[in-house]
Structure 1
Amino acid sequence: MNHATALSPPRRLRADAARNQQRIVDAARELFADHGLEITLDDVAERAGVGVGTVYRRFANKKELIAEVFEQNIAEFGDAADAAVAHPDPWQGLVRFFEYACTHLATNRGFSEVMLELENDMERFAAVRDRLKPTVAAIIDRARDAGALAPDVQTSDFFALIHMVDALAEFSRPVNPDVWQRYMAIALNGVRADSMPRQPLNVPALTDEEVELAKSHVCSGRKR
């Protein structure tokens, strides 16, 4: 018997299964980012180009798929934080990670919704925070020690500012999906040392009409 020939089909099936799983996860990431957590596994199967049965063989339910996508997002946050610590310019390292974090939350509805759910699950929320906090603290400490950051800014302030930008992005998304970038720059200007250059405000502020329209969207959402 040719053992190499006999063993090749299982290897091919495992590779196919791995590719299908990654296609499912990639599709889920796109859908969660665009539409939040209300999507179905049928939606994921259609986007991935696989049968619904294939999705259910890999993930028993949507919760398992959300967990897989979330874990990949957190891993990428960790990589971005590591890159910020390794950046030769401590201030630019902080700016790049802050921009990465704000962009990821502001443009990814599903990730933001999972983070909100985690805040009601203190054990899981603490686990995520504890995975990222030491590296983020190192980013803050390097910038402060270099004289680039206001001396009284703490790591918890950094996380709070990210969530503030995300909250503004959620509020303004129906009327102006890009204005959060303005407030990201304002937040960085608020924590920089006096010697550091200001971030330009390249995005115009919300108009009075946009504010009122965004408020009406919030109110209509609460009535549903």
Structure 2
Amino acid sequence: MTATPDRSLRKDAALNRERLLAAASQLFAERGLNVTLNDIAHHAGVGVGTAYRRFANKEEVIDALFEQRLQAVAAVAQEALDDPDAWHALVTFLERTLHMQFGDRGLNEIMNNPQLGDARVSDARDRIAPLIEALVERAKQQGAVRPDLDQTDVIFTQVALSAIMDSARTIAPDLYRRYLTIFLDGIRADRKAFTPLPTAPLSANQTHLAMTRRRQNAGSR
């Protein structure tokens, strides 16, 4: 059966949209959100006019990718909730989502940049926060974590660690894991000894370089 012209056009439009999202995802992961819709179009191998027919501006591309990223983070949280060991589930969720952010500068910025809009922040809160709350509450019920731990502690820890990732990415890429370990040692209820830290601290000069770099990046945006 021969496809109608309208159906072919719809199929081409859908394919071009997917090409643009794939290109945007790759560019955002490598370079962060400081790319243009023209950059995305060229990387996708489609005309700039085609890009603007699919997306009015870069914000619409970010919105579409944010939806994908939310689904990915929610899937990780749901997998963690399927783990009967509540402590292992919470640790796995943190490790996996932080690794996702570390490998994707765009995701890191989308999830943690307050300038990207209240609607996205609200969406993340409404969809992800209940899953994190369930992970934390179950860990408290099993006596795995301190009883005063709150799901917001986990969220703020992720925000803090994402800042460390951004500051130390080119100096000590694994540095955030040191502070994740410190956080985990601080919340577990049955700690009898400190967990060996997985990476060394930065020197004073390295810390200054990392913090200066972060301020310079913030000022250039």
**Aligned pair 1:79/2:75, yes or no?**
yes
Q: Give, in angstroms, the shift of residue 59 of structure 1.
A: 0.7
Q: Distance in 1 between matches of 2:112 and 2:90?
A: 24
Partner of 1:23: 19
Among the aligned pairs, what percent are the same residue? 38
Partner of 1:181: 177
Partner of 2:199: 203
SS of the aligned residue for 1:148 comes to coil
Higher mean C-alpha deviation, range 170-179 or range 65-74? 170-179
SS of the aligned residue for 1:126 comes to helix
CA contact (8 A) 1:171 1:218 kept: yes
Partner of 1:64: 60
Q: Distance in 1 between matches of 2:169 and 2:61?
A: 26
Q: Distance in 2 between matches of 1:196 and 1:141?
A: 22
Match of 1:112 among 108, 111, 123: 108
Higher mean C-alpha deviation, range 214-223 or range 89-98? 214-223
Q: 1:130 to 1:199 in 2, by over 3 A?
A: farther
CA contact (8 A) 1:119 1:125 kept: no
Give unmatched runs, 5+ long, in structure 1.
none
Higher mean C-alpha deviation, range 182-191 or range 160-169? 182-191
Deviations 1:124-167 (A, max 9, x none): 42332121111111111111111211221111111111111111
Partner of 1:190: 186
Deviations 1:156-186 (A, max 9, x none): 1111111111111122124223311222222
Q: Distance in 2 between matches of 1:13 and 1:201?
A: 56
Instruction: Give the greater-gyration-radius structure (CA).
Output: 1
Q: Distance in 2 between matches of 1:87 and 1:104?
A: 20
Q: Give 4+ residue runs of structure 1 displaced > 6 Å after superposition.
A: none
CA contact (8 A) 1:24 1:45 kept: yes
Partner of 1:132: 128
Partner of 2:163: 167
TM-score, length basis structure 1: 0.85
User: What code does the residue aligned with 1:169 have?
Assistant: M
Q: CA RMSD in A?
A: 2.5
